Every structure is written in C-alpha cells, then in structure tokens.
Amino acid sequence: MPSFQLWAEPWWVNLLILIPFVTFFAFRKGLALNWRQLMILAVFATAFGFVEGAVVVYLRSAIGLLPGYTGTLSELQHSSEGYHQERSLAQFPPSLLSIEVSREAATIVMLVCVALLTSPLARARWAAFLWTFAIWDSAYYAGLWTIVRWPASFKDLDILFLIPVPWIAQVWFPLLVSMLTVAVIALLSGKRSTSPALHP
C-alpha cells in the first residue's frame, strides 16, 4: 500500500488547490449559468472522461503494460493489479509520447470550445470550463477504474499532465480539486435564480 504523499510535483502543481477557493471568491455573487446548462455540460464531460480513460487503456496495451487486454474485460482488470501509472512514462516510445502530448493539448482545446459555446459572458464561460474540466477529470478516473481497476487506491501516483513537463501527484489530489470545484460551482449556481436578468 503506497504511503500518503502531500505534495505534487513540480511544486507549482500544488497551487491547483486554490482553484475552488478563487472560484468561490470570484463568482460569489452568482453565476450566469442555469442548471440545464450545467447538466448538459456534465453529461458531455462524463462521456469525454470515459473516452479519455479508454484511450489511456489503448495506449498502455499498445506498449505492453496491460498484458490481459487480449482476453475478457475481467482478465484485463486482474492483469492490471501491478500497474504503476507514474512509471509508464519511461516506457513510452518517443512517437507515442509525442502523440500523447498532442492529445492532451487537443483535450484542453475541446474543453475550452465547449465553454465558449455555453454563454456570451466571460465569467460564465470560465465557470463552464472549470465545471466541465472537473467532471471530465473525475470521470476519467472513474472510467479507468471501471475498465482496469486502476487506481486501486487514492494514494496511487499518477501523471496528471505532460505539458509543459510531467505533473505527478497521488490520485486524491486532482480528485479533491475537482470535487471542490464542482461543489463550489453547484453552490453558486443556486444563486442565479435570484437574478432574473441572467436567465436566457
């Protein structure tokens, strides 16, 4: 069982924990988003997160890190018991690593585009991006666990992003940031109903 690790690497990744608090302060008077918009964004983010998890499974299978992939889903889940996500980076061929970096960049572009389509207001777009990103991130881990039973623990190390350098943290850290962000935006969206001018 891995030991608890408080800090992410590099050091500035730890600043992500401020996102929910900055979001609350910035949008404390309410959001220009309604629940219908948030739910549609949540459905998109959940589906997109599962797709991301499936892509990770395909990549790991392609380089031999998931030996049970030729069998049943149950066999695949059991074959990944010794899988260590943070160690896989060294085993990635340069070609696939380049593709992975490009995929990450494309993912952010897609999340930004969805947020831009949500509202003409900059504050609503920013909130939509944070909401979608947070749910997408949580769904990614849920998708991976569903497919390969990883992460086995919230203390498993993960490579969060590769841009501009690898971000490494235990799984609890991105999940905590994401869940707090979702909670803050859900809480603040309830204030929207007190301002009829904000309704479309």
Instruction: State pLDDT tens for residues 39-97.
Output: 999 999 999 999 999 998 888 888 877 776 777 777 777 666 656 666 667 777 888 88
Q: Hey, how many other C-beta atoms are within 10 angstroms of the C-beta on 73? A: 12
The answer on pLDDT for 37 being more than 50 is yes
Contact 52, 147 (CB under 8 A): no
Asked, for residue 83, whether it belongs to a domain, the answer is yes
Asked, for residue 5, whether it belongs to a domain, the answer is no
- Segments forming the whole domain that contains residue 84: 32-191
Asked, for residue 180, whether it belongs to a domain, the answer is yes
Asked, for residue 39, whether it belongs to a domain, the answer is yes
Asked, for residue 48, whether it belongs to a domain, the answer is yes
What is the reported pLDDT for 152? 86
Which uninterrupted H or E stretch holds 159? strand 157-161
What is the C-alpha to C-alpha distance for residues 19 and 1, in angstroms, rounded to an integer?
29
What is the C-alpha to C-alpha distance for residues 152 and 122, in angstroms, rounded to an integer?
39
The residue that leads in pLDDT, 38 or 28, is 38
Asked, for residue 15, whether it belongs to a domain, the answer is no
CA atoms within 13 A on the CB side of 80: 27
Instruction: State pLDDT tens for residues 132-162.
Output: 999 999 999 999 999 888 898 999 999 999 9
Asked, for residue 16, whether it belongs to a domain, the answer is no
Q: Which residues pair with 158 in a beta bridge?
A: 169
Provide CB contacts within 8 A for 50, sequence distance 6+. 139, 140, 142, 143, 146
* Number of independent structural domains in the chain: 1
Provide CB contacts within 8 A for 114, sequence distance 6+. 41, 44, 128, 129, 132
What is the reported pLDDT for 198? 40
Asked, for residue 38, whether it belongs to a domain, the answer is yes
What is the reported pLDDT for 1? 63
The answer on pLDDT for 193 being more than 50 is no
